[in-house]
Amino acid sequence: MSGLSVYRAHGSGAGDVADGLLTMLTVTAVCLLAAGYGRGVQELWARRGRGRVVAGRRVTAFGAGLVVVLAADQGPVHRLAESSYAGHMAQHMLLLLVAGPLLAAGAAGLPLTLAAPRPLRRLLARVRAAAPVRRLRRPAGYGLLAAAAQTLALWLWHLPGPYVAAVDRPVMHAAEHLSLVTAAWLLWAPVLGPARHRTPAPVSLLLLVGTMLPASALGAVLTFAPEPVYPARVLGPDPLADQQLAGLLMWAPMDLVVLVAALAVFLGWLLRLDRERPARLVTTRPGVPPAKGPATEGMVR
């Protein structure tokens, strides 16, 4: 009997009931996030003017991120994930490479804080002011935390034991998706978030490349493994081919998205240097002394 015919991602009976309840909770959580974000943005725009503080494109990005989260958990993508490991990997890549960056680009921290009840806002303010949290909010500390969170989530949920547990138990499956999208949100926030909260360009480059390498290694392991590393019941009709396709779906899109983002960060960094410190980019031909003036005198001294 083929793997496709024996495999059901979450079983049947009580599992279907639990899956339905988790679907309702997911939709409710997404609706609450959308409502809270919308309320916070409305308050900001009422105080500062439409499009100020949080630009319209960021609102669009956050809304699109929520839609992608729902699309990854429901509809054709969900049915594909129930029939093969490659489909499940496509689901994960949507959360990591599409939903996470879009949510991060939405700059949701301030709107969601404004929408929170006053006691919760005071609690958040105290937490942010705590010394350990202040240290973690520094570029180096935050970068290490975000990179570690995504790498840990990615590797943990693709080990055979946790992956099979997520397949068999709806609660574990929901925890898997929640951890993946949260880790991606944390990772991309200092790269795509508001300029005042972004890490310096060199730190962003290290952050992106440092998280791409472990993901590429995991994709390579799945692609070149000589035999399936997962039980046949959680793979497609051809277990080895299904696993290899899943490895490629992790490997190629992750590398492409991260490399494009890293290139954009690098080019933006060069353009900022050109605007802010043009004198340092002055070049001269060999054998020709540089022209004297205020710009070159500072370089000589």
Name the more confident of 258 and 7.
258
- Residues 181 and 99: beta-carbon distance below 8 Å: yes
pLDDT at residue 61 in the model: 94
Per-residue model confidence as pLDDT tens digits over 201-241: 888 888 888 888 899 999 999 999 999 999 988 888 889 99
286: in domain? no
pLDDT at residue 297 in the model: 43
114: in domain? yes
Domain count across the chain: 1
Decide: residue 147, CB within 10 A, 0-12 exposed, 13-18 middle, 19+ buried.
buried
For 12, phi then psi, to 5°, come to: -145, 180
296: in domain? no
Q: Indicate the pLDDT class of residue 158, thresholds 50, 70 and 90.
A: very high
Per-residue model confidence as pLDDT tens digits over 109-135: 888 888 888 888 888 888 887 878 777
Rounded CA gap, 277 and 228, in Å? 55
Tell me the pTM.
0.81
Tell me which residue range forms the domain holding 29.
Answer: 3-280
287: in domain? no
- Residues 265 and 204: beta-carbon distance below 8 Å: yes
123: in domain? yes
pLDDT at residue 288 in the model: 54
